[in-house]
Amino acid sequence: VSDQGVGQLSKNRSLVCLQLGPGITDDGVRSLRKLTQLTEFRLDSASAITDRGAGYLASLTHLEALSLQ
């Protein structure tokens, strides 16, 4: 899934669990802000995520599990 694909996924506001692989950048993480019901987010190979991208996750107030590897 690319950043563009994450943008499409973010239209599904009922998602509660999401696991993504490499290829996601800060722009993709920014799209996740719309997923306010998300309780679990895992991103493998998160080397393209900076502090800016991690900051976008602060709006996901229902997160119970977060993994950035």
Q: Does residue 38 register a pLDDT over 90?
A: yes
- Tens digits of residue pLDDT in 2-35: 999 999 999 999 999 999 989 899 999 999 999 9
Chain-centre distance of CA 47, in angstroms? 14
Structure-block tokens of residue 68: 């950035």
Q: How far apart are CA 48 and CA 19, in angstroms?
A: 16
Would you state the pLDDT for residue 46? 87
Q: Kindly state the average pLDDT of the residues 27-44.
A: 94
Q: How far apart are CA 26 and CA 42, in angstroms?
A: 14
The pTM score is 0.88
- Which range among 16-20, 25-29, 43-47, 50-54 shows the weakest confidence by mean pLDDT? 43-47
